[in-house]
Each structure stands twice: as structure tokens, then as C-alpha cells.
């Protein structure tokens, strides 16, 4: 629990506090777009750190990494500050759409996530092949996560275009954490309910 709390605090500092401070301090000395680009690099440095430390880059981190790089490049060739602030929204929006579209495929994306985090993968495979209720359960999870991630992206778009840059820099990641926390909370209780019924 202590490690988890420390991780949350570090994440908040890296993704909210430091970018805000860097942007606020630098914008009085250099152009706003350069200040915001430098502020946006803080999470990028954190990604590099974990890449070196863990010697691997998972799929989600890869999306975030690519989103940050592309948004900064786009801003420099004609984008604006708000475009940079929406970097994670491109990723979560696309991931949400992928989750929803995967429902139409033989096996939704959530199925492969379940396979990855389950010790005995044969159990998942067997249940998928034999239990219609399990397949329905997986598709519901894919739908909820897909819709949730797309809502998160839309909420951040509204925040970025309705608030001043300095405020959006703080509010935007907080909104992201709230939506993801709600999705995780729902996911845990949905799984528990199914286990109780089973």
C-alpha cells in the first residue's frame, strides 16, 4: 500500500506539478509554445527512465510516447499549445475506438489482456470456447472500456479549449486520472459480481 501511495504521488508530481511549474516559469521568458513543449517533455523523460530501468516498453507506454513526440513535432510545424495538451487524448481516443471495434472481431482486445495477466492461460482459452456467458462478459468489458476511454478523450478536449492553458495543464491530467479510476473501480466490481454469480 505504501509503495502504491508513493507511486501515485510521484506520478502526480511528474504529470501535473512539474509540467505546470515549468510552463508557468518559462512562459515569461520564452514563447508559450516553446514553454509548453518543454513542459510536455517531462512525462517523456519519465517514459525514457522506465524504459532504461525495466528494459522494456509496453504497448500503452509506446502509445503515450508516440503521442507526445508526434504532438510536439506537429506543434512546431504549425500546431498550437492546445494541440500539445491533447497529446494523451489522441492515444486514449484511438484506444477507446480500438476497444469498441474489437467487439466485432472474433476475440475482443480485453480477451488478450486477460490472457496476458492470467497465470493459467488455458483456463481463459477453455472458458472462451465453452462458455457463452464468458464471451458476453468479455465483450461487455471491451464496450465499457472503449466508451470510457473515448469519453475521457472528449472531456479533455473540452477542458483544453474551455480553460486557459495554465489551468488546463493541471485540470486535464486530473480528469484523466478520475475517469481511469472510475473504469478500474467498475472493472473490479464487475468481475467480483460475475464470480459471485458463478
Every domain of the chain and the residues it spans: 1-55, 65-197
CB-CB neighbours of 53 under 10 Å: 8
Of residues 188 and 10, more confidence is placed in: 188
pTM reported for the whole predicted model: 0.64
Q: Answer whether residue 129 shows pLDDT above 80.
A: yes
CA distances, 79 to each of 3, 37, 42, 75, 121 (Å): 39, 11, 19, 4, 45
pLDDT band at 101 (very low <50, low <70, confident <90, very high): very high
What residues contact 143, with CB distance under 8 A and at least 6 apart? Answer: 99, 100, 103
How does pLDDT run across 56-78, given as a tens digit for each residue? 555 555 555 666 666 666 556 55
Amino acid at each position: 500500500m505504501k509503495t502504491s501511495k508513493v507511486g501515485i504521488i510521484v506520478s502526480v508530481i511528474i504529470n501535473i506539478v512539474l509540467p505546470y511549474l515549468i510552463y508557468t516559469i518559462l512562459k515569461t521568458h520564452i514563447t508559450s509554445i516553446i514553454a509548453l513543449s518543454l513542459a510536455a517533455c517531462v512525462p517523456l523523460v519519465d517514459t525514457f527512465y522506465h524504459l532504461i530501468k525495466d528494459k522494456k516498453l509496453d504497448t500503452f507506454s509506446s502509445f503515450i510516447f508516440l503521442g507526445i513526440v508526434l504532438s510536439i513535432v506537429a506543434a512546431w510545424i504549425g500546431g498550437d499549445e492546445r494541440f500539445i495538451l491533447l497529446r494523451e487524448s489522441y492515444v486514449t481516443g484511438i484506444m477507446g475506438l480500438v476497444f469498441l471495434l474489437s467487439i466485432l472481431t472474433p476475440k475482443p482486445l480485453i480477451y488478450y489482456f486477460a490472457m496476458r495477466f492470467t497465470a493459467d492461460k488455458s483456463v481463459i482459452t477453455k472458458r472462451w470456447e465453452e462458455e457463452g456467458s464468458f464471451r458476453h462478459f468479455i465483450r461487455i468489458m471491451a464496450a465499457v472500456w472503449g466508451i470510457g476511454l473515448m469519453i475521457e478523450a472528449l472531456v479533455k478536449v473540452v477542458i483544453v479549449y474551455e480553460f486557459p492553458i495554465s489551468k488546463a495543464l493541471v485540470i486535464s491530467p486530473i480528469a484523466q486520472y478520475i475517469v481511469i479510476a472510475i473504469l478500474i473501480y467498475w472493472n473490479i466490481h464487475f468481475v467480483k459480481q460475475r464470480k459471485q454469480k458463478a
